[in-house]
């Protein structure tokens, strides 16, 4: 079996990467993070590096990272595609705002990614919403 088959075939239930926590089974934790007045809102290279490092902090497996810079004085959008889901960012430097998503399943620690991103982007204001996705029991 190649390394990607376990993520795509429904017959490999043992590899579905659902999380079991306090007797509840669900797909994973999803953090929605709004940061204001933070660093690197226009720096595509720094954003790419920090997305990679945030995934590694959580123990996630990075499959691919895509970043798009919208031009001089404009924002950056990016996504780290993980074997365990994704981390994404969209920035609006003209509003001093960045929106992040961290969604992870399996044996990862998405809160480590969150703490890493807070430390590196240094927002003056932050709002965080935490969801459990795909609750089945």
Q: Which of 115, 114, 80, 92 is nearest to 40 (CA)?
A: 92
Asked about 105 being catalytic, the answer comes back as yes
Bridge partners for 30 per DSSP: 103, 131
Q: In this structure, is the dihedral angle defined by the CA atoms of residues 38, 39, 42 and 44, taken in order, positive or negative? A: negative
Q: How many CA atoms lie within 13 A of 15 on its CB side?
A: 12
30, 105, 112, 113: the active-site residue: 105
29, 30, 85, 113: the active-site residue: 85
Asked about 38 being catalytic, the answer comes back as no
Q: How many CA atoms lie within 13 A of 119 on its CB side?
A: 11
Asked about 86 being catalytic, the answer comes back as no
Residues carrying an active site annotation: 85, 90, 105
């Amino acid at each position: 079996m190649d390394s990607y088959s376990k993520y795509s075939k429904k017959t490999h239930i043992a590899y579905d990467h659902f999380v079991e926590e306090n007797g509840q089974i669900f797909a994973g934790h999803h953090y929605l993070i709004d940061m204001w007045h933070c660093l690197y809102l226009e720096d595509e290279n720094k954003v790419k590096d920090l997305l990679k490092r945030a995934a590694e902090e959580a123990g996630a497996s990075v499959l691919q990272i895509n970043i798009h810079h919208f031009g001089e004085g404009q924002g950056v959008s990016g996504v780290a595609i993980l074997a365990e889901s994704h981390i994404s960012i969209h920035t609006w430097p003209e509003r001093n705002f960045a929106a992040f998503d961290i969604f992870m399943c399996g044996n990862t620690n998405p809160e480590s990614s969150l703490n890493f991103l807070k430390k590196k982007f240094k927002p003056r204001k932050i709002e965080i919403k935490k969801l459990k996705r795909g609750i089945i029991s």
